[in-house]
Amino acid sequence: MEKVITAVSTAYTHTGYRTATGVTPYKGVVSVDPGVIPLGTKLFVENYGPAVAMDTGGDIKGNRIDVFFETQQEAIFWGRRTVKVHIME
pLDDT digits (tens, 9 = 90+) for 65-89: 999 999 999 999 999 999 999 999 7
CB atoms within 10 A of CB 54: 22
Q: What is the pLDDT of residue 31?
A: 97
- Do the beta carbons of residue 65 and residue 41 sit within 8 Å? no
Range of the domain at 30: 2-88
- Do the beta carbons of residue 41 and residue 75 sit within 8 Å? no
Q: Which of 57, 28, 56 is nearest to 44 (CA)?
A: 28
Q: Which of 23, 27, 1, 8 is nearest to 85 (CA)?
A: 8
Global confidence as pTM:
0.92
Structural domain count, the chain = 1
- What tens digit of pLDDT does each residue of 6-31 get? 999 999 999 899 999 999 999 999 99
Say how far apart CA 13 and CA 24 lie, in whole Å: 11
| Residues pairing with 9 in the sheet | 65, 81
Q: How, if at all, do strands 64-68 and 2-12 pair? A: parallel
* CATH assignment at residue 54: 2.40.40.10
Residue 1: band (very low, low, confident or very high) from pLDDT cuts 50, 70, 90: low
